[in-house]
Structure 1
Amino acid sequence: MKKILYFLTMALALIVVSSCSEDDVVYNTAPRAAFTMSEAPEGYEINKAITFTDASTPEANTNIVSWLWSFGDEANTTSTEKSPTFTYTKEGVYNVTLTVTDNHNLKATLTKSITVLDPLAAISVQWAANLSGSVTGGSSPAVSADGKAVYMLTGGNAAEPGRLTAFNIASGGTSWVLDIDAAMVSNHPTGSAAAGCKDIYSSPSVGADGNVYFIVRDLKDAGANRRLFTFAAKPNGNVAWTYAGPDANLYAITPAVDAQGNVYTAQRKGKIWKINNGECTEYASGLGDITGGLSVSKTGQLYGAGKGNTGYFGFDINAGTGAWVYNAEFGAAPTAFTGALRSSTPSIGADGTLYAVADKATGGMVMAINADGSLKWKYDTNTSIADGGVAIAADGTVYANLGIATEDTPSGVVALNSDGSVKWTYAVEASVQTTPMIDNRGYIHFIDAQATYYILKADGTLFSSLSLGEACKSTPVMDAEGNTFVVVTKDGALQMLCVRTRAASYATDAVWAMRGQNPQRTGLQK
């Protein structure tokens, strides 16, 4: 007796055939269903075709003869093609099912889920918090060392004090507010009841110890009582220490923090201060007018920017002397945030190359400067770029803002190869005077002067954009959880926004992912 057994999907059929030969048992199983989907490293998107490729395996001596696909959409769309394409028109998570049948009518089924995104819905505001005071120039937020708070400086006036505000990242609530005017008064070395600040162009940075560092000028006192204050605020908002230096004019300085915890600030009389726990070492840089920066290399080179013929500079902290100045072709920056001043912060490449933007007498440029101060390359632009800066991806790609838009010349962002050749440009009609930022996907984020937030893919195509308000001068910062923080003007009021963009984090593998290199804005080379 010969018995032939066929195993069907979830069932067993037995057919008995008489024979004079010895008994045999022959098993035949259903095919194995399998399929792949076209690669989309950056995620599947609506209105873009997805190819589903059959990869099923039949049993020996059998053939797959039919395919039935179900795409899980609202219309219950199906296909009998072997490897069909399908386009989803709505965002969602869909179950895609393939059923294959062989020539013995045996069936096998496989279901996979697929997430399809709508790029237009990729940007959303998680919370918005009103800010008191003013945000001037390119003043921008910084994230706490533990990732639980975001800090922002706001300027004062005759009636209001300057403030450092800490916002709770999870809720958007105010954790604490440091009254800077009161801190000036209580920490004034000779005593002053009138000390206080007005416009603040600088930005905070955060050390590994959690202290928040910032520099502000007393503009409410007069004469010999005026001081230039560098503060360290503890994570709870109390003042850790203060250095009240001699009065000097100040612009958009963000303190740099090195690996040893030294804090570097500078002012417009050309003095550089290295401060540790309130104790200051002063360097006479020989520079005319320091207005922007600062960034510090692993080897102790301090970099910043200045107005007039100061240009960009490198200062050797170890030797205590100026190393070099680069200012070839620089213009007067008439379209900077406040006249002929530069507030851009230079970025440091993995090999020590300095990258920066600048205005020229006509137009602007993105440039790479060698460690000795000589020009490595420059990329000329039709737009003046008096403010902003450069982000550097892990592969060395340089992303820079394109500055001031005119009626005839758009602004936007340019991507350059490490040799200065152009990868792509993305144009927008509004000015872009803030520094681009890179997320974990390699996407590039930037915001224009009209508060439209853009996300570009690595190839320069638009992923998403959203209007967040009416105006913006603040460079965004992204934390390790993918939260983005930026200050905009909306409905006539200043607001700190927490924005989600579907990024998981900033680009931790980038050479210089954002202004200040990291969410704490330390300006320290990796």
Structure 2
Amino acid sequence: MKNVKILLLGLFFSLAFFGCKDDDMEGLLPPGADFNYTPEAPVAEQEILFYADPTEGSGEIVEWNWSFGDADGSTSDKRNPYFTYPAAGTYDVTLTVKNAAGASFEVTKPVEVAPPPKDFIADIVWEFTNNTPVTGINEGTNAPVIGDDGSVYYVEGYAGSDSKVVAVTDQGESAQLKWATAPGNRIQNAPSMGPDGNIYIEAWLANGIFKINGATGEIMWNGNTVAQVSNNTAAIDAEGNIYHGSRSNALAGIFSWTSGGEKRWEIVGVGAFYAAPAISKDGKTVYYLNTDTGKIWAVNTADGTLKWSDPVGANSGGYGPSVSLDGEGTIYFTTNEQVAAVTDNGESGAVKWIADIPGAANSGVTIGPNGDLYTGAGAGLVSINPADGSVNWTYSLSTNESMPAVDVNGNIYIGTTDGKLVVVNPEGMLLKEFQLGDGVVNSPTIANDGTVYIEAVAGNVIKLFKIAVAESGPADSPWPMKGQNVKNTGQIQ
């Protein structure tokens, strides 16, 4: 028994000796560490959390020392400190760690701090109605047009044969009726303006495209579209040529006209085309979305021949109101359940990605100043990564074909079905809501000075609103709003 006790005691001292030896060795291993911070895009005057961890193979760290690189030489000895930068800039942040033996390791990273977000200051300046009784609004597809003289053109669309294109003069603090013209049936698309300052609109008629004098409201000509026209706002090139589609019967198709009303070319009997087309920057290609197939047609503007022998798309029909372009050869559009990106490779087109987003046809696609895409869908306002179609975030609301508009600060504006204009920041946080009516609110238009013009159903009439927004303007992006610009020409600049 005595021998057993001696053996156990020896084993105890041996374990203790080797344990101490391992501890000593751990303390002598050199330290190593790395750090990160959140949020990933820090902003001045907002708290940043810096957090650090030992790297693989590091010895035990007993000291964590930070230098934040600001003018005051701020430091911290916490492992995971918080710090707030008072101003934007790039700061070299250094973390120095030590082990018990005094050995140290240092890592430095630049941290870019953005300016604090501007206060969002916006107010309704005036509202105007022409008092035409309506039963609804154009599902949100309409967006006002702004002329060079500040005149604003909008649509009272769901009033049957009394549906009108309305022009008002913005007098600063109020609006005055300039003229109101009825093409003869309901209107379900936005007006567009040619380089001569005159207005194009399409009505629910077989001879449904109209050119209207922008100054007087006089109908200058109208052309035979073979089939009725729905959401198809006409696109207009730099020479004043017009491009649009028609829908509803076996003769539906796509068309081009001169500004004088002469038909340049047509392709009919090929299916319905609801969405407003888009024109390439060089003016040589116009892109149409075939509603029946969910495929993009790339058409040579000069003669109406196909640029690609085979249309490309999502193979799923839908009623998206507009086609959009990014300036780098990518075409964006929506179907009933998807947002799609198609690349123009010159002699052919190819699907870049297709994202399943239920109710995506409730809107078109606009582009923010950082390249992110925005659309209205069944779940609300959706932010999409342009690289792969993944969803960045969703802001819950009810919308119906209101196409978002994005301002120079990256804020997104969209109309709802319950009478609101909602403004959300680039991170998907609510900035402001304007209660404009009790029904559908259409697509917003952002003027160069940041003023927003938008229509809403209020009772049994449509109202046009002017909203002043401080320090704003349209986003510096390829497609910041419906129709690309305040004249709804649908040609990328």
Same fold by TM-score greater than 0.5 = yes
Q: Give the partner amino acid of 2:352.
A: K
Instruction: Please tell me whether the aligned partners of residues 455 and 463 of structure 2 are also in contact (alpha carbons under 8 angstroms).
Output: yes
Q: Give the partner amino acid of 2:190.
A: S
Q: 1:232-243 maps to which residues of 2 (within 5 A)?
A: 232-239=211-218, 241-243=220-222
Question: 2:370, 2:119 → 1: CA distance?
Answer: 28
Q: Give the partner amino acid of 1:309.
A: T
Q: Which of 172, 176, 179 matches 2:178?
A: 176
Measured at CA, do residues 166 and 43 of structure 1 come closer, stay the same or move farther in structure 2, by a change above 3 Å? farther
**What is the deviation of 1:138?**
3.3
Corresponding residue for 1:462? 430
Q: 1:34-113 maps to which residues of 2 (within 5 A)?
A: none
Question: 2:354, 2:387 → 1: CA distance?
Answer: 11
**What is the deviation of 1:355?**
0.8
Q: How many residues align?
A: 381
Question: 2:461, 2:195 → 1: CA distance?
Answer: 33
Measured at CA, do residues 85 and 350 of structure 1 come closer, stay the same or move farther in structure 2, by a change above 3 Å? closer
Corresponding residue for 2:352? 376
In the alignment, does 2:321 pair up with 1:344?
yes
Q: Give the partner amino acid of 1:350.
A: G
In the alignment, does 2:190 pair up with 1:213?
no
Question: Per residue, is there more strand in 1 or in 2?
Answer: 1
Q: Give the partner amino acid of 1:494.
A: I
**What is the deviation of 1:379?**
2.0
Instruction: Please tell me whether the aligned partners of residues 365 and 380 of structure 1 are also in contact (alpha carbons under 8 angstroms).
Output: yes
Question: 1:150, 1:479 → 2: CA distance?
Answer: 11
Query: Could you say what secondary structure the match of 1:386 adopts?
Result: helix
In the alignment, does 2:312 pair up with 1:326?
yes
Question: 2:461, 2:146 → 1: CA distance?
Answer: 25
In the alignment, does 2:243 pair up with 1:264?
yes
**What is the deviation of 1:208?**
2.3
Q: Give the partner amino acid of 1:512.
A: W
Q: Deviations over 1:440-489 (max 9, x none)?
A: 11222222222322222223333223332222251111111111111112
Q: Give the partner amino acid of 1:236.
A: A
Corresponding residue for 2:38? none
Q: Give the partner amino acid of 1:143.
A: V
In the alignment, does 2:230 pair up with 1:279?
no
**What is the deviation of 1:255?**
0.9
Q: 1:309-458 maps to which residues of 2 (within 5 A)?
A: 309=293, 311-322=295-306, 323=308, 324-331=310-317, 333=318, 342-359=319-336, 364-371=337-344, 372-381=348-357, 383-401=358-376, 403-404=377-378, 410-422=379-391, 424-458=392-426
Question: 1:310, 1:417 → 2: CA distance?
Answer: 19
Corresponding residue for 1:475? 443
Measured at CA, do residues 179 and 476 of structure 1 come closer, stay the same or move farther in structure 2, by a change above 3 Å? same
Measured at CA, do residues 247 and 504 of structure 1 come closer, stay the same or move farther in structure 2, by a change above 3 Å? same
Query: Could you say what secondary structure the match of 2:421 adopts?
Result: strand
Corresponding residue for 2:486? 519
Measured at CA, do residues 283 and 464 of structure 1 come closer, stay the same or move farther in structure 2, by a change above 3 Å? same
Instruction: Please tell me whether the aligned partners of residues 141 and 403 of structure 2 are also in contact (alpha carbons under 8 angstroms).
Output: no
Identity of aligned residues (%): 22
Measured at CA, do residues 452 and 246 of structure 1 come closer, stay the same or move farther in structure 2, by a change above 3 Å? closer
Q: Which of 133, 151, 154 matches 2:153?
A: 151
Corresponding residue for 1:296? 279
Q: 1:136-147 maps to which residues of 2 (within 5 A)?
A: 136-147=138-149
**Structure 1: runs of 5+ lacking an equivalent:** 1-40, 57-82, 87-114, 182-195, 219-226, 334-341, 405-409
Measured at CA, do residues 260 and 485 of structure 1 come closer, stay the same or move farther in structure 2, by a change above 3 Å? same
**What is the deviation of 1:140?**
1.6
Q: Deviations over 1:119-148 (max 9, x none)?
A: 5xx342111112424332334233333151
Query: Could you say what secondary structure the match of 1:253 adopts?
Result: coil
Corresponding residue for 2:190? 203
In the alignment, does 2:233 pair up with 1:254?
yes
Instruction: Please tell me whether the aligned partners of residues 204 and 230 of structure 2 are also in contact (alpha carbons under 8 angstroms).
Output: no
Normalised by the length of structure 1, the TM-score is 0.65
Measured at CA, do residues 217 and 366 of structure 1 come closer, stay the same or move farther in structure 2, by a change above 3 Å? closer
Instruction: Please tell me whether the aligned partners of residues 206 and 522 of structure 1 are also in contact (alpha carbons under 8 angstroms).
Output: yes
Q: Give the partner amino acid of 1:293.
A: A
Query: Could you say what secondary structure the match of 2:162 adopts?
Result: coil
Deviates more, 1:350-359 or 1:272-281: 272-281
Question: 1:416, 1:85 → 2: CA distance?
Answer: 29
Question: 1:142, 1:486 → 2: CA distance?
Answer: 7
Question: Per residue, is there more helix in 1 or in 2?
Answer: 2
Normalised by the length of structure 2, the TM-score is 0.69
Corresponding residue for 1:487? 455
**What is the deviation of 1:154?**
1.8
Question: 1:375, 1:173 → 2: CA distance?
Answer: 46
In the alignment, does 2:125 pair up with 1:126?
yes
Q: Deviations over 1:204-247 (max 9, x none)?
A: 011222111112244xxxxxxxx514222233124373133264
Instruction: Please tell me whether the aligned partners of residues 396 and 418 of structure 1 are also in contact (alpha carbons under 8 angstroms).
Output: no
Instruction: Please tell me whether the aligned partners of residues 263 and 274 of structure 1 are also in contact (alpha carbons under 8 angstroms).
Output: yes
Question: 2:300, 2:434 → 1: CA distance?
Answer: 43
**What is the deviation of 1:43?**
11
Measured at CA, do residues 271 and 124 of structure 1 come closer, stay the same or move farther in structure 2, by a change above 3 Å? same
Measured at CA, do residues 144 and 43 of structure 1 come closer, stay the same or move farther in structure 2, by a change above 3 Å? farther
**Structure 2: runs of 5+ lacking an equivalent:** 1-40, 48-69, 73-82, 87-115
